[in-house]
Amino acid sequence: MQFKDIVGQEKVKQRLILTTKESRIPHAQLFVGSAGTGKLALAIAYAQYIMCDNKGDDDSCGVCPSCKKLTKLIHPDLHFVYPAKAKAEGSSDDDSDKAEDTLTVWREALISNPYFGENDWYEMIGMENKQGIISTATASDVIRKLNLKSFENDYKVMIIWLPERMNNQASNKLLKMIEEPPAKTVFLLVSENPNLIIKTILSRTQQIMVPPIARESIATALVDRFNLDPGRAQDLSRIANGNFYTALQLMDSNENEYFDLYRRLMRLCYAKDVIGLLDWVDDAAGLGRENQKEFLNYSLGLTRESLMLNAGLGDISYLMGDEADFGQKFSPFIGVENIFSITNEFTQAYESIMQNGNPAIVFTHFAMRMIKLVPNKPLK
């Protein structure tokens, strides 16, 4: 993970980079911030920067052997500790699964979206509505690993996510090592609730406050990474309130809504169901202008993908899950005969909405043209 992959937080990035440039990396640092601000991602990008063999002025190189391993989170000198399931009472001497049992899930989760929060993590490892712990056995493991010689790099980095979930015994075990770490060992603690960390550990760490992400940065990221309509990106970033994970979830929930609306439209057109189509117009007209634009954009993409499937170009199609199933079934109804007229209708409706056209009128007109363009039997 590189700094450039992280949304916003320029000040924090600059501060971290400076410690490396000036060779004064504090050996225990505590990243503090609320969920979805990217503090875990920042800690990982920082570790990558520290270990990079060819670092630039404002980021790791991304291509050296060290960076390559860090991208997959398999660098032998980067270690993770995070809360895991507590074992049932009365079972062996240890009180939780060792963190290593869930390491694969952890890596995959971080690589696909490092903005998840505590509860999202518990859901991923099948322990909804329960709180995980960092056990004494895990703490012993940390000590063992950090006492080993580093494998490849000067530095060893130990990232402890949610140190507030360590019990007292585990905290005390680690305390000694945080007080007197082996040479070139860096502890990066990442916390949402520093008040719950034992004082002795807290006082040994240098704190880095990670603020909510700036609204502009979230909006820009949504446009750049997901091609979202800029107006909609602004809406989502406002609701997300500095939490990038929330912004992504909001975006996904909309996609599902758009998919349902698109599928209904095409089915009604195919069935030549005018009454049903008028209900559909009511729903589309009630979406709100930014959502309408986004829906029309989304539909345009989905229609093009269906054409590709029809042309036998399924391999380059970006559709997944339900969209892909529907695209497959719908593709025989889309071909050179009607694709230009259909995409033209979506584009025209988009432009009318952009120019503040009355949504009920725009979508009625649109639906009545579409019903003629979607055939009631496959094109060939």
Q: Which residues bind Zn ion (CB under 5 A)?
A: 52, 60-61, 64, 67
Closest separation between CB of residue 12 and Zn ion, Å? 20
Q: In whole angstroms, how close is the CB of 61 to Zn ion at the nearest point?
A: 4
Distances (CA, A) of 341 to 70, 284, 338, 349, 351: 48, 20, 5, 12, 15
In the complex with Zn ion, the residue whose CB is nearer, 73 or 367, is 73
Nearer to Zn ion, 64 or 198 (CB): 64
In the bound state with Zn ion, the residue whose beta carbon lies nearer, of 151 and 340, is 151
Longest dimension (CA), the chain: 76
- What minimum distance in Å lies between the beta carbon of 63 and Zn ion? 6
Please say whether the beta carbons of 175 and 200 come within 8 A.
Answer: yes
Q: Dig out the tokens for 27 from the structure.
A: 């050996």
- In the complex, least distance from residue 40 CB atom to Zn ion, rounded to whole angstroms: 20
With CA atoms as reference, report the closest residue to 265 among 346, 340, 165. 346
Rounded to a whole number of angstroms, the minimum distance from the CB of residue 71 to Zn ion is: 9
- Cβ(188)–Cβ(178) under 8 Å? no
Residue 59 vs 164, nearer CB to Zn ion = 59
Helix (H, G, I), strand (E, B) or coil at 165: helix
Shortest Å distance, C-beta 326 to Zn ion: 43
Choose between 61 and 339: whose C-beta lies nearer to Zn ion: 61
Rounded to whole angstroms, the Cα distance separating 120 from 118 reads 6
Q: Which is nearer to Zn ion, 57 or 180 (CB)?
A: 57
139: CB partners within 8 A, 6+ apart: 81, 166, 169, 170, 171, 173, 174
